[in-house]
Amino acid sequence: MIAFLSSLLERVAESNDHNQQHQKISVFHGLTRPNISIQSYLERIFKYANCSPSCFVVAYVYLDRFTQRQPSLPINTFNVHRLLITSVMVAAKFMDDM
């Protein structure tokens, strides 16, 4: 599941990098691209966050909703890691906190 999600997000981020004409910069936008791959980042979150696998699916749904509601702030390689950790955290609070 991690490999599938990372593959999807990688394709989206790279596609949006090529299409940068109408992108705004947000608080999630980094100055440089992180050195860690999306897959390695997701694996690291999975290892250390102790959240259920369903959190990653819900996190992807949150990211999808975000991009639909904020089309001027697409997911790209400068913000994908920050958006990922935020969406996983919110999903874990919703799904796993008791």
Which pLDDT tens digit goes with each residue over 30-55?
667 789 999 999 999 999 998 999 99
The pLDDT of residue 4: 94
pLDDT of residue 23 exceeding 70: no
Task: Write the DSSP string, 49-72.
Answer: H---HHHHHHHHHHHHHHHHH-TT
The pLDDT of residue 24: 66
Map residue 17 onto helix, strand or coil. helix
Q: Among 69, 60, 64, 65, which Cα is nearest to 88's?
A: 60
Question: What's the rounded Cα separation, in Å, for the pair 75 and 56?
Answer: 16
Backbone angles phi, psi at 76, to 5 degrees: -140, 180
Which pLDDT tens digit goes with each residue over 73-94?
888 888 999 999 999 999 999 9
Which CATH superfamily hosts domain 2-95?
Answer: Cyclin-like (1.10.472.10)
**What percentage of the chain has pLDDT greater than the value 70?**
87
In the numeric block, the tokens 């790279």 are attached to: 14
